[in-house]
A and B are shown apart, each in its own frame.
Chain A
Amino acid sequence: MIGGVYAVISIGLTLVFGVMGIVNFAQAEFLMLGMFVAYYAWAWLGLDPLLAAPLAFVVVFLLGAAIQRVLIRRVLKAPEVAQIFLTVGLLIVLENAALLMFGSGFRSVSTPYQTSSLQLGPLFISVPYLAAFAMSVASGLALWLFLKSSWFGRAMRATAQDPMAARLMGIDADRMHMLAFALGVGLTAFGGAVILPYLTASPTVGTQFAVLMFTVVVLGGLGSVAGAVVGGLAVGIIQSLSALVFPIQLQNLVLFVVFIAVLAFRPKGMLGAAR
């Protein structure tokens, strides 16, 4: 079930790659930002993180739009080295800016449902997990509908496939890129807010999720939204299984190995074979 959340935070990454062809190494930092937005919404406004998730989305969406406009846009045609290290630089800046602003402490919220769980037959399901899952599914569906049916969604897919042709059709590729990037990081922030009830926020939390997100996306095929969903579920399952066998530190190792293996043998992802 945790896979559903993984899917949502990773969809953003895959969206950015799909539309612009850029791997955003800083993506997980937006998850961290989402967590902090939700945390302060809770601390100052008393807002439940689940309700603050849309707020996190909006705030990070705007930030993402600005970053795309000022930074990313300039390297879209640059050599890959420039693209890679621009987002790596962004990662360092965001992480340390957060460290300066929020301090290095760990912050968590307390919600009434935090420790409660539901009984479903023989299974106990913790409420925060269930809520996170439900919210993820909802936002995933919303994105899917948006991409599928709105004019923006279609224009964005057209831009991803062929920027030149899209331009000829009167689509402003610049605007589409901005939208895709903003949407991508916004969605990841949304995921960050949603998991806050059962995790703690800290400026370095992004690092923990970075590999996970990349694994999800690479498993599903970089650039494929459906792939991210499948990849998210797969990573959730891999994690639960490896938790049974390995001590906690080595679980990440399993992910890494899966990650490298997939990159090496199926760089287009598990679903990519059909193309």
Chain B
Amino acid sequence: MSGLSPRQWTGLALLAALAIALPFAFEPRGYGIRILCLALLFAAMAQAWNIVAGLANQISLGHAAFFGIGAYTSTLLLIHFGITPWLGMFAAAILGGAAALLISLPTMRLRGHYFALATLAFGEVMRVIGNSWGGLTGGPVGISVPFAQPSLALMQFRETRSSYWLMLAALVVVTLVFVAIKRSRLGYRLRAIKENADAAEVIGVDTTRTKIIAAVISGALTAALGTLYAQFQFFFDPDTVFGVASVSVRMAMIAIVGGIGTAAGPILGALFVIPLEEFANQVFSAQAAGLSQLVFGLLLILVILIEPRGFMAIGPRLQRLLRKGDRR
């Protein structure tokens, strides 16, 4: 767990420069850069999911609950009180963390399939509430973020490029949080819980508290990202932001495709999955509804059957293969 070598630092710096400069290669208001924005946002979301699922192996299927809470919190604060989304984002994070605490308390003793079921239901509870509490959320018809003069203060931009940098910053922040947790005492404890919860308790790990802390951090970050989503799309409805397939499963899938429990996994996963999905949407949706979703599902199944540890495991696997080849 030592720091990075000078060569790795250089690589990282180059990568950062490339990531920052990338939007200039795209048409400023084109489709490509929007997809890139979404990919970064979903990478950050998958990274937030990775904190509980990847480190503690608590497989949540309900992170859409926090995401939706975040999207609605900042939007409603903006509509009703004119509060800037920057503050709204903090309020969202606080509410998202509180929601995570609320659902963690009864479900933290659950493991594996049981935990997945309970979180799935929690996400659905939020979706039903979002749809039926029309007075607050606008109900199934959705809600629009009021347009204003593009300004940084209101987190609305003339150029998609600026949104891109915002998403990039968000991804960097969430990834840094992930890495910091992974290397901290919290990270060691989460890993101990994942690998043997009883043994962890016996040698002094407060497993309940540890899992709740991780869940709250993850929920708060996811909610903050919900705010970014709202400010980026300007319009959303409960079925989108609280959706199982559209949010919860997608976050998870991106992390899994890239490599669950690793910092680079969600990023690789998002850069692969989101453009692919958009591409499938464009190519197929003219012909038949559902085809791109079908591709999405097939991809998930394929990844799980071929390499459930995702892209991140393919490198080492190839190396091993090559080494074997050498020996022969």
Contact = CB atoms under 8 A, between A and B. Distances in A.
A81 B309 CA distance: 10
Interface of B, helix, strand, loop or mixed by DSSP: helix
Given A99-B289, A100-B291, A93 B301 contact: yes
B301 A260 contact: no
A85 interface: yes
A78 interface: yes
A93 B297 contact: yes
Interface string B82-103: 0000000000000000000001
Contact of B114 (A92, A104, A263): A263
B190 to A, nearest CB: 15
B36 interface: no
A188 interface: no
Given A92-B294, A92-B296, A104-B289, A86 B304 contact: yes
A32 to B, nearest CB: 13
Interface string B287-310: 011110110111111001100100
B106 interface: yes
Interface string B216-253: 00000000000000000000000000000100010011
Interface stretch (B27-35, B120-128, B313-321): B120-128
Contacts, number: 140
Interface of A, helix, strand, loop or mixed by DSSP: helix
Contacts of A82: 304, 308
A267 B122 contact: no
A214 B117 contact: yes
A81 B121 contact: no
A88 B60 CA distance: 12
A267 B118 CA distance: 10
Interface residues of A, number: 46
Contacts of A23: 113, 116-117
A97 interface: yes
A75 interface: yes
Contacts of B245: 92
Contact of B113 (A83, A93, A264): A83
Contacts of B113: 17, 22-23, 80, 83-84, 222
Ordered nearest first, which 6 A-B pairs have the shortest CB separation? A92-B297, A264-B106, A99-B290, A89-B300, A93-B297, A96-B290
Interface of A: 17, 22-23, 71, 74-75, 78-86, 88-93, 95-97, 99-100, 104, 203, 211, 214, 218, 222, 247, 249-250, 252-253, 256-257, 259-261, 263-265, 267
